Structure 1
């Protein structure tokens, strides 16, 4: 079996499926033949922190570019939303106990800690990503 790499598509192809590509008119004009070892190296799994690129028509792993500040902030926004969900789920039953005058002293203290955590979480400056001082999650 023959294996191919398309530098323009950064994609891999097997000769066994060429008839399907030809029928669809999608077999790339720039494919270069590669060894089965190279095919397996680049199609089994992407190494952490790497991206597929092409040098002189051959596939190559390169270090992934560092995320932009906008991407870091978006990741921080997502993390804050996830932490907020955790806090909301902790507050709901504790607030029910307080509202129904059934809360223990420990539940009241826990409710106050979680509410305080939510305030600090909302005040967290995520524009500083990745150097964010996240508030500590209550015990």
Structure 2
């Protein structure tokens, strides 16, 4: 391939073939290379240069700006996690990820960033377990009360069968056992067994 010379305005001094390096007109990202026939007095196509980029490294991309190539970080298509609140983002632009975002995924909703890795926040995990236990305890107590009320009505009105009296006693014992459940021991709770209907 014969080299073409260009004048100070970028026009070919004679016709020939030039190796052209193309880049994206918006991002400057390197797109590829081609050999182009350039007529005399014509410049190379837009968004291209005669300057060759270097070798590409994994996770980096060449970008042409201000008349030169620079090797930039490229994390596009990857998910990053906020070290503040675990919110996720998908990287869509060339360059480093935003500050306070890391590629390492947290292992649980209770993980906190310690500056180099995710570590579990035992207090937050315990509090969540206690909250869940208190919620479950309230639901179980409500179920017991909803079952006891009509049984108690039957007994009070002397309309209860022997089976209903037995059920009432079993459900009242169950409700007492529920009130004694210590939610602060969550998640290690042995829930009392609800009576069978």
SS across alignment from 1:62: coil
- Structure with greater strand percent: 2
Supply the distance in 2 between the matched residues of 1:34 and 1:93 (Cα, whole angstroms). 63
Indicate whether 1:134 and 2:191 are aligned: yes
**Normalising to structure 1: TM-score of the pair?**
0.58
Cα distance change on mapping 1:69 and 1:33 into 2, 3 Å: closer
Q: Deviation of residue 74 (structure 1)? A: 1.3
Q: Any runs of at least 4 consecutive aligned residues in structure 1 with deviations exceeding 3 A, and if so which?
A: 32-35, 51-56, 58-61
* Correspondence for 2:164: 107
For 1:59 and 1:34, locate their aligned partners in 2 and report how far apart those are by CA, in whole Å.
13
1:68 Cα deviation after fit:
2.2
Contact 1:53 1:62 in 2 (8 A): no
2:149 corresponds to which residue? 92
Total equivalences in the alignment? 96
Using the TM superposition, give the Cα deviation of residue 59 of structure 1 relative to its aligned residue in structure 2, in angstroms: 7.4
Matched, 1:62 2:106: yes
Unaligned runs of 5+ in 2: 1-73, 81-85, 111-119
1:8-28 deviations in Å (ceiling 9; x for gaps): xxxxxxxxxxxxxxxxxxxxx
Greater length-normalized contact order (CA 8 Å, ≥ 6 residues apart): 1
| 2-structure distance, mates of 1:100, 1:59 | 67
Q: Which runs of 5+ in 1 are unaligned?
A: 1-31, 43-50
RMSD between superposed Cα atoms in Å: 2.9
Pair 1:123-2:167 in alignment: no
Name whichever structure is richer in helix by fraction.
Answer: 1
CA distance in 2, matches of 1:62, 1:53: 11
Provide the secondary structure at the position in 1 that maps to 2:106: strand
- Select the structure of larger CA radius of gyration: 2
> Residues of 2 paired with 1:34 and 1:85: CA distance?
51
CA distance in 2, matches of 1:34, 1:72: 37
